[in-house]
Structure formats: structure tokens, C-alpha cells
Chains A and B, each alone.
Chain A
Amino acid sequence: MSDGQYSGVTDTTYGSETSRPDGEVLLSIRNLRTRFVTEDGDVPAVNGVSFEVRRGEVLSVVGESGSGKSVTAMSILGLLPSTARIEADHMLWRGESLLNAGENRMRQVRGGEIAMIFQDPLSALNPVHKVGRQIAEMILIHESVSKKEAESRAVDMLDLVGIPQAASRAGMYPHEFSGGMRQRAMIAMAIACSPDLLIADEPTTALDVTVQAQVLEVLLRLKDELNSAILLITHDLGVVAGISDRVMVMYAGRQAEVGSTDQVFYRTRHPYTLGLMRSLPRLDDVGSEPLMPITGAPPSLLRLPTGCAFHPRCPLAGERCSKDVPDLNSGGLGHHPSACFYADEVSGDSAGLAGGRA
């Protein structure tokens, strides 16, 4: 867990305060906008997102369904259907623009430098290919080795992620594995070529709680061994608390706040994040206070509210909120970035919510 040290001064690049200020910036994204062209209009799934990922850290992207977190990840690797239009001020991978990269270069990047694992390993792995072969394929795509060598390395990978009897497991099909092992197998596949960034899209959502912890542990261990970074997408705050260094909260395609895990959890600066925290049951609750869900429902991306997308559901909403669209600078200097005009009035457990403005 990070120790929350930060310089107290926000950089011009959003979210650049970090637990390890010396980590090399691997991924740098500014103002990413991804929209889908549909019959009913353009859907702005990602609407101006900016962040960086540094070597050695785990950055979590948190949000509900439809917040745009998965689309953000897939925009990086160009895995969206042809109805998607991706634009950004810049999207740099180790200094190289991914937006301008040709398809050949992107293919090198995919799996070789940035790897992705998906939510449901049962449907994400090809059901008619053996697991070992699928891992070996990853190796064969990016390195020129013999088939035999690829297969033997595949077994090594399975071993690395903690799958017992790796050699015989490699000859089995995905449906023969249990859920947790399948996810590990997918991780094994993803790290086969030692990528510098691992994007994990809801890696634990389809798993039992007990297994979740194991998978997260594997991810952390591998990150350290490979000295890489993880971009973790999830809606589960528990997972975030478990392994993240930094957190980015998304809502309706935009960022709500970005900061170290401590900062976002304990010095929350956005009403939406606070609402998320408060709607979670906690073991250390005294027991007499009711859970407070956030009233209302997430908006349709086709008909976003004017101004701040959250304002119809926000207890702190003021007049300005329905007119101007806040960005990460709106929270003012002096703390971690937050896209809320009243960021300073949101705080931890305090009943800032009780004294809402009209």
C-alpha cells in the first residue's frame, strides 16, 4: 500500500503525484475521447480522460458499469469494434504515439509490450484449443523460437503462476480448469513475453472471494518480478484497497478524481467517490447507521446531463454544477485532483453530505 506521500503540488499532467516519483512513465494519456457511432447517435463512452502509468505501480480504474473504464483500456490497445472513434491529445507508450502507430506496430505492442487479461476466462480462452497451446501461441507471435521451445516455456509460465502439475495441465482444455486456475492460466498467457504493462479488466469479478485474493497476489508478485506496471480495472473497491498504489475514479465517461489509494479512500474529494464508499457495508461499522446508496441511476451516455454528469444525484450540487463541466483541475490546487467544484467540502467521514447546498 502506498504511504500517501505526495509533493502537495499537482503537476500540469494530471495525476502525476505518485508513490514512487522516480518510476519511469510508461503510459501517458491526455484527453482520451472514445465514441461509438450508432444509429441513435454518437455515444461518448470515454469523454476526456487523462492519466499516466509508471513502472512498478498499480493504477486502478474504478467505476460502475458504463463508466467507460473498460473502453478506456481497450482504446489503448485498439481492441474496439469498427464503430469506435478514438481521439486524444496524446496517447504515448514509452514516448511513442499509439494513435499514430500503424497496425504492424500495434501488433507488436499487443501482447509483446502491453498485455491484457479479461474478465471471464472461460469465454476469453478459446474452448477448442489446449491451454498450453494458447500460451505458446503468444510466445510464437512475438519471438522467433521453435514450437517445442514455446511449448516448454508455456509450461514454465503455468508453473510461475502457481498452477500445480503444470506439464499435464498444459495439455488440457480451458473448461477443465477451475475458475481461479483459468484466470491464472490467462495471466500466464499474458506475461509470457514479459510485457511492461499488464492491463487487467475485472480479473476477479467472475471468481469466488477466496480465489480473488490468490489471483491478486499472483498479479502483484509478477509485477514485482517483471518490474512492470498494472492497470487494473474494477468496480470492486475491496480489490482496489487490496493492491493498488493509485486510484482513478470514473463516472459517465469522465474522471471524478485521481490520487493515491490513501488519498482517495481517506481524504475523498468527490461526492461520487464518497457515495461509493458510504454505500459499502463495513465490518467495523457500529451497526446503527443505515447504508447510504447513491440516489438515482447512472445517466444514459446518449443524453448526458448538462454540466457535471453527476449533478442530478449529487447532494452537494450547486448552480454552477448544471452549467459548467468540471475537469480534474476544478478541485483546486493543494490536494489530489478532483473534478468537482466543491471538492474541498467533501471529506472523509464528515457529514459534508448533510450540509448540502440547494
Chain B
Amino acid sequence: MTAYIIRRLFQIVLTVFLALSFLFVLYFALPGDPATLLAGGDGRVPNPTTIRQVTDRYGFDDPMPVQLFHYWERTLQGDLGQSYQSGRGVTDILKETAPRSIRLSIWAIIIEIVVGISVGLISAVRRYSLVDRITTIVTAVASAVPVFVLAFVLQYVFAVIPEKQGWPDLFQFKTSGRGDDSWVLFFIPTGNTWRYLVLPAVTLASVTTALAARMMRGSMLEVLGADFMRTAKAKGLRDREVVVKHGLRNAMLPVVTLIGLDFGTSIGAAVLTETAFSWGGLGFYIADSVGRRDLPVLLGLTTVVVLAYAGINLLVDISYAWFDPRVRLGQGSAK
């Protein structure tokens, strides 16, 4: 087991290194001159001397491999640079934005777990029933609706309409920003923060929940037809007991993996949701910095996202091995 983990860590380091290098080189090819941006910024017309100074200082004239080398040199020492636009340290920006994304992701995953698994389970057990049919339709549609469209629909229904109709404050959700941004235990919203949290969290959860529900349903259906389920019934267990005691754990294996992966992806891929709701997390600023060609911010944020994704993947693999005794103990040691 330990050897496995070490091997994987090694792979991850290599992969991340290559991925980030690729991004660096890619952005290198972006049109727009960073020196001008840095020197000027805020719409001022930069004077050529300043541009020259900035270029020298940051080495923008150096050949690309040299720049790449310098980049890694700095990064490995923890220096992620400063925003071309605002001059703020990237690390600072990270400290501010990363928690926001994490909080949003945590809630999205909670929704996914609770709703996705229970809906999928019920659909499978009550196949062809009304619940099942509705679920099938809803999940199909949810998969087809673009995230940002859902965002706007939710905004319209839960924020614009209540406001127009003058509904009491209690029923109004908010559509942008983070309100008080006050939290307890890192992820539990207090004050009016939850009003700002609900819609983005539901939106972010929608895509993954639909998939999780379908997967749970499929997995459960397969398990329901498995031999050991019949054995369990032959022992005299109630149908409900058979499903819960024997079926659930087996059915959940692939779903757990999926949810774990979703957590990893959602941190970075919440780009659309965060943009739609102006929720200033990693995703929001990544999209923003691409548009503004703000390379250090872009690279810095992306680094965190890539690392988080790889790290979570590893955790998921390990936990899967732990859940499934066949993987944990190795396949069949017949004596």
C-alpha cells in the first residue's frame, strides 16, 4: 500500500510539473505585452523607459526556456509573483479566493451526496414508479442545461421575481457577491451569508448531482440483480434489509469515487458558476485573469487548482482501495 502511494505521488509531481509548464508556455504565446500592462496598467500610457525597465527586471526579453526556468525557480521557493494588473501578491490573492471556492464546493458536494444518492437509490429500488420516471426526466434535463443558464433561471425565479413582487425578505435569495461573508467552522454560513450561498451552491451542485443520481441508480440496479442479493433473501431477510445491509455498500463504491472526483473538479471548474454569481473564488479570478492576460495570477491560481485536483484524486484512489476489500487485500489469496 505504501509503495503504491509513493509511486502515485511521484506520478502526480511529474504530471503537475508538465501540466503547469505547458500552461506557462501556452500563455507565453498569448498576444499582448505584459511589460506594457505592468508598466502602464489602469489605462495610463506607459513611457518607453519604464517599459524597458520592467522588461529587464522581469526578463520578458529572455528566450522562453529561460523564462520557464526562472518561473520554476521562483515558484518552488514559494514566490508566485504579483498581479500584472494590480501589483498585489498572488499568494495574497490566493489566500483570499481559495477559501471561497472551497466553501462553495463543500456545499455543492453535500447537496450532491444527500440528494444524488438518495434519489438514485429510490429510483433503482422503485424502478418504473412515478418517482423513477420523474427522476429520469429531471436528471436528463439537468444534464442538458448549461450551468450558467440554470444560474440565470434560478436568479430570475428566486431573486428577480421576489424582488419585483415585493416578497418578504425571508424568501429572497441573492445573486451576486457573498454578503457578510461570515463563517463558522470554516464552512457554515452565518449572518446573511447563506442567502448568497444558496443559489450558487445549488447551481454548482446541479450538474454533478444529476450525474451522481444516474450513476447511483445504475449501480444499484446492477447490484439488485447480483447473486449475493438473492442469497441474502434466501436467508430470510426482509427486502428492505437486503437492500440496505447488502446492496448499499456495494452499489456505493463507484458513486463514492465519482463524488470524490467531483469535489476535485468543482474547485476549479466552478468557473462558470462563480462568474455567473460573481462569487469571487478561484474560478472567478481565473476567468477574469485570462481575459486580462494577467499571467502570474492565472498561473498561480491554476497551480493551486491543478494541485488540489491531483491531490484529491489520489485520496479518492486510496479510499476506494480501503472501501473495497478486494482491492485492499489483493485479489484472491487462495490457499
A–B direct touch in complex (beta carbons closer than 8 A): yes
- State the A residues within 8 Å of B (CB): 77, 79, 107-112, 115-116, 118, 120, 123-129, 137-138, 141-142, 173, 175-179, 181, 186, 189
B231 adjacent to A124 (CB under 8 Å): yes
Which stretch of B45-53, B301-309, B326-334 is in the interface?
B326-334
CB distance from B222 to the nearest CB of A (A): 12
B235 adjacent to A128 (CB under 8 Å): no
Q: How far is the CA of A186 from the CA of B234 in the complex (A)?
A: 12
Contacts of A175 in B (CB 8 A): 325-326, 329, 331-332
Q: How far is the CA of A129 from the CA of B332 in the complex (A)?
A: 15
B237 within 8 A of A: yes
Chain A residue at minimum C-beta to C-beta distance from B326: A175
B238 adjacent to A123 (CB under 8 Å): no
A128-B236 CB under 8 A given contacts A120-B227, A176-B333: no
Partner of B250, one of A112, A124, A128: A128
CB distance from A82 to the nearest CB of B (A): 10
A125-B231 CB under 8 A given contacts A107-B236, A111-B236: yes
Q: How far is the CA of A108 from the CA of B226 in the complex (A)?
A: 23
Partner of B228, one of A109, A110, A115, A123: A123
Contacts of A108 in B (CB 8 A): 236
CB distance from B16 to the nearest CB of A (A): 33
Contacts of A107 in B (CB 8 A): 236-238
Q: How far is the CA of A128 from the CA of B324 in the complex (A)?
A: 7
CB distance from B335 to the nearest CB of A (A): 6
Counting chain B CB atoms within 10 Å of each CB, the highest count among A108, A142, A175 belongs to A175
Apart from A175-B332, A181-B335, 7 more pairs, CB < 8 Å: A79-B234, A110-B235, A118-B227, A126-B246, A128-B249, A129-B246, A175-B326
Partner of A137, one of B235, B249, B333, B335: B235
CB distance from B93 to the nearest CB of A (A): 45
B227 adjacent to A112 (CB under 8 Å): no
B230 within 8 A of A: yes
CB distance from B253 to the nearest CB of A (A): 8
Q: How far is the CA of A109 from the CA of B236 in the complex (A)?
A: 7
Contacts of B335 in A (CB 8 A): 177-178, 181
Q: How far is the CA of A118 from the CA of B249 in the complex (A)?
A: 22
B233 within 8 A of A: yes
A124-B230 CB under 8 A given contacts A107-B238, A173-B326: yes
B232 within 8 A of A: yes
A126-B250 CB under 8 A given contacts A141-B235, A142-B236: yes
A141 adjacent to B237 (CB under 8 Å): yes
Contacts of B238 in A (CB 8 A): 107
Contacts of A126 in B (CB 8 A): 228, 231-232, 246, 250
Contacts of A179 in B (CB 8 A): 334
CB distance from B198 to the nearest CB of A (A): 36
A79-B233 CB under 8 A given contacts A107-B238, A177-B334, A178-B335: yes
Q: Can you give 13 A-B contacts (C-beta < 8 A)? A: A107-B236, A108-B236, A110-B234, A118-B231, A125-B231, A127-B325, A141-B236, A173-B326, A175-B329, A176-B334, A177-B334, A177-B335, A186-B231
A127 adjacent to B231 (CB under 8 Å): no
CB distance from B85 to the nearest CB of A (A): 53
Closest 6 CB pairs of A and B: A178-B334, A123-B227, A110-B236, A111-B236, A111-B235, A107-B236
Chain B residue at minimum C-beta to C-beta distance from A109: B236
Chain A residue at minimum C-beta to C-beta distance from B332: A175
A127 adjacent to B250 (CB under 8 Å): yes
B230 adjacent to A138 (CB under 8 Å): no
A127 adjacent to B227 (CB under 8 Å): no
Contacts of B249 in A (CB 8 A): 128
Chain B residue at minimum C-beta to C-beta distance from A178: B334
